[in-house]
Amino acid sequence: MAKITVIGCGTIGSAFTMHWAKDHQVSVIEKNPSRVDTMQGKVQVFSLKEIKKALLNAEIVLLAIKPQDLSDSASKITPFIPKNALMISVLAGTSTTMLADYFPDIRLMRLIPNNAIVQQQGVIGMVEPEEITPIEKKQLETLLHPFGLLHWLPEDKIDAFTVLTSCNPAYLFTIMETMLDAGVHMGLSAHEALPLLLQTWKGVVAMLSNTKKHPGELKWQVTSPAGMTIAGVRALEKGNLRSAIFETLLAAYDKGLNLHVKHHQ
Ligand SMILES: NC(=O)c1ccc[n+]([C@@H]2O[C@H](COP(=O)([O-])OP(=O)(O)OC[C@H]3O[C@@H](n4cnc5c(N)ncnc54)[C@H](OP(=O)(O)O)[C@@H]3O)[C@@H](O)[C@H]2O)c1
């Protein structure tokens, strides 16, 4: 059983907290403790004034506040982080170097979850800290495994990882919304079209992961010569969908790089 303190219990903090609370001793620090009233009894909930108590003997500290709250919060938290604790930050766009400025002499690790961890279907990127024992690494993997796919990566790949896994759901939801609209235009209700589309997407994911075939090859399997599907593919190419997707992901990536540059200025 690990002693874990979660700082900031919004979407991400509460997803981890609720699961960890089943097997571990979890304390939560939340600006507004009434916001996490439903957790009372399952975890110990502390206000900002009780940071010292909440961090007492913590082995793992999960920092899950918004990046814009970091500069105000860090000085209040730092003095109470136990010497040997591992602080895990989920803050997007906040490098280990930036974190070390705020939390000197504390063992730090970056972790990027996507919001599907709430459904335990997430992807979690983990940057290996300099000082971590094989036992701690194993313990971390055990703690995070229930939330989805785990992927260790060097920090210089974290922006690419963030775009593909954390930003991407927004684009995929937009594509799904557009498909629903098209379904409605063709005479189906959105209510009727949604489960059909969901199962189609699930099928596509299953085909890709089970056959291990290239998406292009799977596309050709469903496009018969002079048929309906290839007519749609033509319209899709005319509409520059590939270019739009490429540019979308790179715009998010460039934005991430610019945020780092701004922080270092
Ligand atoms: N959501 C995602 O999909 C996602 C993906 C990857 C990474 N992340 C990262 O995860 C972090 C949390 O995101 P989120 O979506 O969970 O945010 P959120 O829902 O806004 O949760 C953050 C919570 O922390 C509270 N808080 C702020 N300062 C605090 C402090 N000093 N001590 C205790 N609590 C404090 C906030 O209170 P107030 O609202 O009153 O300020 C809020 O309740 C962010 O840094 C984000 O970059 C999120």
Atom of ligand 1 nearest to the CA of 12: 16
Tell me the average pLDDT across 185-204. 98
pTM given for the model: 0.90
Q: Whose CA is nearest to atom 43 of ligand 1?
A: 10
Q: What share of the chain is helix, strand, coil (3-state, %, to 5)?
A: 60, 15, 25
Give tens-digit pLDDT for 91-100.
988 999 999 9
CATH number of 3-153: 3.40.50.720
- Residue 264 pLDDT more than 70? no
Which pLDDT score, from 0 to 100, does residue 261 have? 66
- Residue 163 pLDDT more than 90? yes
Tell me the average pLDDT across 44-66. 94
Q: β-strands 122-127, 148-152: how paired?
A: parallel
Which pLDDT score, from 0 to 100, does residue 32 have? 86
**Segments of the chain assigned to CATH 1.10.3730.10:** 161-264
Residue 220 — very low, low, confident or very high, per pLDDT cuts 50/70/90?
A: very high
CA distance 187 to 210: 33
CB 123 within 8 A of CB 96: no
Which pLDDT score, from 0 to 100, does residue 33 have? 82
Expressed in angstroms and rounded, the spacing between residue 66 Cα and the centre of ligand 1 is 4
For residue 87, the number of C-alpha atoms closer than 13 Å in the C-beta half-sphere is: 24
Give tens-digit pLDDT for 222-252.
999 999 999 999 999 999 999 999 999 999 9
CB 62 within 8 A of CB 21: no
CA distance 50 to 158: 33
**Segments of the chain assigned to CATH 3.40.50.720:** 3-153
CA distance 4 to 87: 10
Pocket perturbation via mutation, ligand 1, pick of 65, 69, 171 by most ligand atoms within 8 A of CB: 65
DSSP symbols for 135-189: HHHHHHHHHHGGGEEEEE--GGGHHHHHIIIIIHHHHHHHHHHHHHHHHHHTT--
Q: Whose CA is nearest to atom 20 of ligand 1?
A: 10
Q: Domain 161-264, what fold?
A: ProC C-terminal domain-like fold (1.10.3730)
| Pocket flag, ligand 1, residue 91 (CB < 6 Å) | yes
- Residue 90 pLDDT more than 90? yes
| Pocket flag, ligand 1, residue 13 (CB < 6 Å) | yes
| Pocket flag, ligand 1, residue 47 (CB < 6 Å) | no
